[in-house]
Amino acid sequence: MLHLTESGPTFRTTPPGIPDIHANLSLGNLGFEEYAAWAGESPDGVYRSV
């Protein structure tokens, strides 16, 4: 049986950010941690695609 002790980094995004995140994660250009860090730099904690 697998027990998860933490969920890892999480972040929120706006709908226009989803294709950007999906494409870069699929291609391996950027990692999840980078998006989570960018969201963390935002005052409201939300990643917004440029």
Distance between CA 21 and CA 25 in Å, rounded?
Answer: 6
Burial bucket for residue 5 (CB in 10 Å: 0-12, 13-18, 19+): exposed
pLDDT at res. 50: 77
Quote the pTM value: 0.75
Which residue type, as a one-letter code, is found at position 14? T
Query: What are the 10-residue block averages of pLDDT along the chain, 50 residues in total?
Result: 55 94 95 90 90
Bridge partners (DSSP) of residue 12 are 46
